[in-house]
Amino acid sequence: MSYIQFLGAAGVVTGSKHLVHVDSDGARPLQVLIDCGLFQGQKEWRERNWQDLPSPAKTIDSVILTHAHIDHSGWIPRLVKEGFHGPIYATPATVDLCSILLPDSGHLQEEDAEFYNKTRASRHHPALPLYTMEEAQQCLTLFRPINFGETHAVDKTLSFRFVRAAHILGSSMAEVTVNANGRSQRLLFTGDIGRVRCDETVAGKVLDCGPTQGEECDLLVMESTYGNRLHPHDDPRPELAALIRTTLQRGGTVVVPAFAVERTQKFLFLLKDLMESGQIPRVPVHADSPMAIKAVQVFLKHSEEFTSDSKAAIAKYGSPLNWSNFYFDSTQQDSKKINASTYPAIIISSSGMVTGGRVLHHLTQRLPDPKNLVLFIGFQAPGTRGFSIKNGAQSIKIFGQDVPIRAQIAALEQFSDHADTPELLEWLHTFPRAPRQTFLVHGEPDAASQLRTAMTEALGWDVQVAAYRQKVSLQ
């Protein structure tokens, strides 16, 4: 029997992994994974990272990767460690981003294991990393770049094509065609869907908006992160400038937890714009991440995806790596220097949901002081430290210590790289026909079920919320 099976991002926003199993006339079945993401957030989810797949890794033939975010790509090194050795298909920009994100993820896994061993906080002795930085580096040789719009045949039963998702640099949807048992079916895996309209709603957007319109498929597997949300449609810049000015005036520092790729670059462009137009003072801006410099270089290499505003900004100001007052801190010594400084500054540091990385050190030092501001500009998944801090926790556990939260906490919701519900519906209205079945993944249960209702009402489609390990027949 040919089927697809949801092995992650079902009822949750992390761990994206969907198996396409094609059984054709007695030949050995073909097994392709669409995305291979890490579970993040709550412990019950993270523990799934340690479970084997229902189909052994060595029986998976290839991986088709929609984009580089760790919740879509971060389990690849584990898959390889478990015996997978096939090709991993992704767009050229996704390949470049994975070459910095996956080794960093391995480094974080090693740090976590080391920490648990030091504090004996784990039930497992010794705690082992899910995979190491070296293992993550080794799996990069399996990546095969495939350009947008190019059809690639995995074998005679399955071919695919990447189309634009407009979510982050290199992000795509995978149009998969299955030809088996005398029947051809089109499956569309959206990955994460970016903003449908750029105009007034997405300030500081570095990349062009607009996922490819007019998609046609028999079976749709679609994300639902913002299935119950409306993004604010006002320009965030006046509020952002006011928050930064007030903090700097009282001698405080602004700490911005942000993903090192995409969100950090977008925020750097906004800050540059606010400084050049005199809306905020020229204070040091630190992009503090071991991969900050590489992430900017990958961005500049793929200027084909930039908005005309971004192209104009680079033409006017040059590479962010050369901007005065902007520092890209790649070594641990650089990072420690920022911590030693009491001079007001803006620090952008990962991870975006405060689950690990250098932002932990910056927050340990700066959360207890009411002069400082911690500003969230990204989605915070339930169960993460970022979610707790954003939602008014009085203290937070970092490195096993309770850190009191006295700093000002603020959040701006305009920076999302996901379409909200009206945008998703607008995009779905461009489909020339209804898919036979639609499955919603990559959403909290409430978001997925509200989007299901909205889609059923607006489009009259057959929409279901995917369940973990559910199999859907392709017969």
List of residues contacting Zn ion (CB under 5 A): 69, 192
Shortest spacing between CB 167 and Zn ion, in angstroms: 6
For residue 404, the cross-strand partners are: 395
Shortest spacing between CB 206 and Zn ion, in angstroms: 15
Dihedral sign, CA of 160, 88, 67, 225? positive
282 Rama sector, left if φ>0, alpha if ψ -120 to 50, beta otherwise: beta
Amino acid 39 reads F
Shortest spacing between CB 291 and Zn ion, in angstroms: 17
Q: CB-wise, 18 or 69, nearer to Zn ion?
A: 69
Q: CB-wise, 129 or 204, nearer to Zn ion?
A: 204
Q: CB-wise, 190 or 388, nearer to Zn ion?
A: 190
Place of tokens 């996922």: 211
Shortest spacing between CB 19 and Zn ion, in angstroms: 20
State yes or no: cis peptide before 341, omega within 30 of 0: no
Q: Backbone phi, then psi, for 455, in 5-degree steps?
A: -70, -40
Q: DSSP assignment, residue 360?
A: H
Q: CB-wise, 89 or 379, nearer to Zn ion?
A: 379
For residue 173, the cross-strand partners are: 163
Q: CB-wise, 69 or 266, nearer to Zn ion?
A: 69
Q: CB-wise, 192 or 218, nearer to Zn ion?
A: 192
Shortest spacing between CB 98 and Zn ion, in angstroms: 13
Helix extents (H) in 120-185: 133-138
Give SS3 for 178.
Answer: strand
Rounded Cα–Cα distance for residues 422 and 428 (Å): 10
Q: CB-wise, 253 or 414, nearer to Zn ion?
A: 414
Give SS3 for 100.
Answer: helix
Shortest spacing between CB 68 and Zn ion, in angstroms: 8
Rounded Cα–Cα distance for residues 461 and 282 (Å): 52
Helix extents (H) in 282-404: 292-301, 308-317, 332-340, 359-366, 385-390
Shortest spacing between CB 85 and Zn ion, in angstroms: 26
Shortest spacing between CB 146 and Zn ion, in angstroms: 19
Q: CB-wise, 344 or 357, nearer to Zn ion?
A: 357
Residues 6 or more apart whose Cβ sits within 8 Å of residue 103: 133, 136, 137, 140
